[in-house]
Amino acid sequence: MFLRWQQWNRRARFALWVIALMGVAAALPLGAVRMDIEKTSKQVEYVFDYRDIVEVSELQAKPQQFLAERLAKMKESGITTMAVYESTLKELVQAGRLTYYSSKDASLLQGKLEPAGQNFTYILFNGPQEEEQVGAIVRAALDRAEAVYREWSFDGRNGIVAEMTTAEAVVLTMDFDPMSLQTIKDAGFGILARFSDRVQPFDREATDAQLAGLKKLGVNRVLFEGDKVKGASDKDSLDEFGKLLDQHQIGIAAIENLKKPQQGINNLAYSTNYNVVRLYSLSEADGIEMTPGGITDRFLLAAKDRNIRMFFLNGTIQMNPDKVKLEHSLDKLSETMAGENGVAAKLADAGYEPGTAQPLKYEQLSWSKPLRGVVAVGAVALITLLAGAYIPGVYIPVFLLGIVGSAGLYVLNSSIMEQALALGAAISAPTLGLVWVMNRIYSRTIGDRRIIGGTDWSVARSQSNQPQRQPGVVMNNDDQVKWVFPSLSMGRRLGIALNWFLVATLISLTAVPIVFGLLNNITYYYVLEQFRGVSLLHLAPIALVAIYVFLYSSPLTARKVRAILAQPITVMWIILAAVIGAVGFYYLSRTGNEGQVSSIELIIRRFLESTFGVRPRFKEFMLGHPLLLLGLFLALRYRAAWLLVIIGSIGQLTMVDTFAHLHTPLYISVIRVLLGLGTGIMIGCILILVWQLVEGALRKWAPAIKRKFVES
């Protein structure tokens, strides 16, 4: 019975690889569709914060003249759009529309005594046009706040007295300043309206009229201020606002790299049929501190690597203590945008012409769903193969449990099921690749021959014709663990190492189509959903390979496990654990969008970006791939080199992780991985050459040095 089960298990292993490869094949058409989708949006839109220009203008001797000059300069530089916010009294004062006073200040203005027991807000419009256009939005805000107000005038100017304190009045959120909107339109800019969720309660009719007015001015996209989208405080209001956006054919912009996505943005994306573009915001500090070249490189990388189609520039003004002078960043940013080496020209040369940002054209094809089902089964097969590599004889039950569990999870939450299977496949494939490598190393060195899955053990005789060893024991003539194995020629070792490296890489890459096939959804392209478990992906293969290296160099028996668990914990073990923990923390700090890198690495990254156009992953070509290739070369001679295989797993898992960045165009990820492999193999060959030279020198000079030391 046991032998029959082993036979079924071996057949199941072969069948699982076939199923996994079927999943890979099914994912390829989905990848081709994704690449077509990624070509449908190439125009980029450059947006400047109009409020920042107004704030800087307010501090100039001639604010209106300064504002007009800067708008003209920005138009020439390539800025296409101005972002406007919902108004407040403070912003209307900065724009020169009105002034407001407390009861005390209004009394002083009129040369009267302050009225006792009164603390009202007095508003004066700066002219008839301001009274007509801006007065309407001020009165609407007061009505919404249910404030009592009356007309007021002074020195030939009309205004309003509101029975509320200035502290209350200045926080009232009003509609967009119609005069600013017209100024922007007349200057030839598009308008990006920034809504907040401060206007409560949500008024459908007022919002409908507001959006209709914006649409007449050419507004085709809105952006949100704060941590919520408009209407997010109430589910019904959010649905109504989404329907109004879709009705007026107005899309939304999703800001990149927020610590937390704006609440409700996923609902609006769905309501507008994913009429979404990704927006990168250059902060005020970066705008004034970064060099023009640095800004250009950052924008180019964002457009090319992260599907960013809107760039939001923030201006600022600050005191220069050395010159004792106010300095602003408006002119610098205009100059950064303009010229042959400016942002607009550089991105245009790369195929990203300035214009109106467009969403990706996405259509859910009828045949994609069954293909994703095949891909899901392929992912279950890969995960099952990983389980069988560590626990012999479990292929059939694990696969059946995986299918049933995946089906149940799909019913509960299909997104979580797809992400779980994608993560499992992403961990499994690189681990299986290195398990295969370690089995090849075992078979050529210590003599244990087995296939992935831990079955079919056989023990070979040592080359010195010693008696056959007992399973699980690796000995030399002195009954000690072998640390040095019989030597092969350099060419032979290099050929074997390269062959193993390439096969392991191919096994690792089987996860790539599985990942992008399962997560083939527009929500991932816009980062409305993210691939979860990145930290686990960066740690699990390393840990699993380490377990395989240290525990599976011989058959894993209950006696061996008990012996390991019975080992005493020494101070050395504690120190070693602390060192591993520190290294792991630093390694994880470099992963993800907020990973920290050194200044030297930044220089190398920029060089690679300018040289190749696409920057390979640093952990791949400088660490993982070279050390794995060196480790495979040395493992044929030295047992200690197995540690390099563990470190080299970083390169294998990082290749898979590259494709888990689903907002990056697929062809960019392919180029990045191929560049990483090519440069990593070259660096690995250089390391092997250096090792051979150093080893040769040591072999030649070490005996003489030893004799000299003994004689002295």
Note the pLDDT of residue 590. 56
Closest among 553, 544, 320 to 424, alpha carbons compared: 544
The vertex-598 CA angle with 593 and 600, nearest 5°, equals 125
- Tell me which H or E stretch contains 520: none
- C-alpha span between 31 and 515 (Å, rounded): 10
CA torsion through residues 430, 431, 433, 437, sign: positive
Q: How many CA atoms lie within 13 A of 272 on its CB side?
A: 30
- C-alpha span between 332 and 146 (Å, rounded): 45
Query: What is residue 701's three-state secondary structure?
Result: helix
Structure tokens at 414: 């299909």
The vertex-20 CA angle with 14 and 21, nearest 5°, equals 95
Give the pairing type, strands 81-85 and 190-195.
parallel
- C-alpha span between 302 and 357 (Å, rounded): 14
Note the pLDDT of residue 611. 67
- C-alpha span between 447 and 465 (Å, rounded): 12
Closest among 80, 84, 606 to 344, alpha carbons compared: 80
49 pairs with which residues across the strands? 83
Note the pLDDT of residue 442. 87
Query: What is residue 262's three-state secondary structure?
Result: coil
Q: How many CA atoms lie within 13 A of 180 on its CB side?
A: 28
Contact assessment for residue 302 and residue 280, using Cβ atoms and an 8 Å cutoff: yes
3-state per-residue secondary structure call for 87-112: ECHHHHHHCCCEEEEEHHHHHHHHCC
The 8-class DSSP code of residue 174 comes to: B
Structure tokens at 558: 């209950």
- Tell me which H or E stretch contains 183: helix 178-186
Note the pLDDT of residue 457. 34
Q: Please give the backbone phi and psi of residue 459, each rounded to the nearest 5 degrees, phi first.
A: -115, 125
- Burial of 18 per CB tally in 10 Å (0-12, 13-18, 19+): exposed
| CB atoms near residue 635 (< 10 Å) | 27
Note the pLDDT of residue 705. 58
Which amino acid makes up residue 211?
L
Structure tokens at 280: 């990168």
Place of tokens 């004062």: 93
- C-alpha span between 664 and 615 (Å, rounded): 13
Closest among 628, 618, 617 to 673, alpha carbons compared: 617
Query: What is residue 163's three-state secondary structure?
Result: coil
Note the pLDDT of residue 577. 61
Note the pLDDT of residue 619. 83
Contacts of 49 (CB under 8 A, 6+ apart): 82, 83, 312, 313, 314, 315
Which amino acid makes up residue 383?
I
Distances in Å between the Cα of 287 and the Cα atoms of 220, 225, 309, 314, 659 are: 26, 20, 19, 7, 31
3-state per-residue secondary structure call for 302-337: HHHHCCEEEEEECCCEEEECCCCEEEECHHHHHHHH
84 pairs with which residues across the strands? 193
Contact assessment for residue 231 and residue 206, using Cβ atoms and an 8 Å cutoff: no
Contacts of 603 (CB under 8 A, 6+ apart): none
Structure tokens at 476: 């030399």
325 pairs with which residues across the strands? 320
Contact assessment for residue 198 and residue 173, using Cβ atoms and an 8 Å cutoff: yes
Closest among 530, 73, 124, 82 to 335, alpha carbons compared: 73
- Tell me which H or E stretch contains 54: helix 50-58
Query: What is residue 661's three-state secondary structure?
Result: coil
Contact assessment for residue 642 and residue 635, using Cβ atoms and an 8 Å cutoff: yes
First to last CA, the chain: 70
Give the pairing type, strands 221-224 and 251-255.
parallel
Q: How many CA atoms lie within 13 A of 490 on its CB side?
A: 9
- Tell me which H or E stretch contains 489: none
- Burial of 121 per CB tally in 10 Å (0-12, 13-18, 19+): buried
Note the pLDDT of residue 595. 46
- C-alpha span between 74 and 72 (Å, rounded): 5
Task: Give 10-residue mean pLDDT values along the chain (712 residues).
Answer: 70 92 96 92 94 92 92 94 95 94 91 84 94 94 93 92 94 95 94 94 93 95 94 91 95 91 93 95 91 90 92 87 77 90 91 93 87 95 94 89 93 92 95 94 70 38 39 42 80 93 96 94 89 85 90 62 66 62 56 53 67 78 91 89 90 92 91 92 94 83 62 57
| CB atoms near residue 287 (< 10 Å) | 21
The 8-class DSSP code of residue 663 comes to: T
Q: How many CA atoms lie within 13 A of 97 on its CB side?
A: 26
123 pairs with which residues across the strands? 100, 160
Q: Please give the backbone phi and psi of residue 432, each rounded to the nearest 5 degrees, phi first.
A: -60, -40
Contact assessment for residue 79 and residue 313, using Cβ atoms and an 8 Å cutoff: yes
- C-alpha span between 388 and 372 (Å, rounded): 24
Go through 54-65 and write b for each residue having 16 or more CB atoms within 10 A of its CB, e for each that does not. Answer: bbbbeebeebee
Note the pLDDT of residue 534. 81
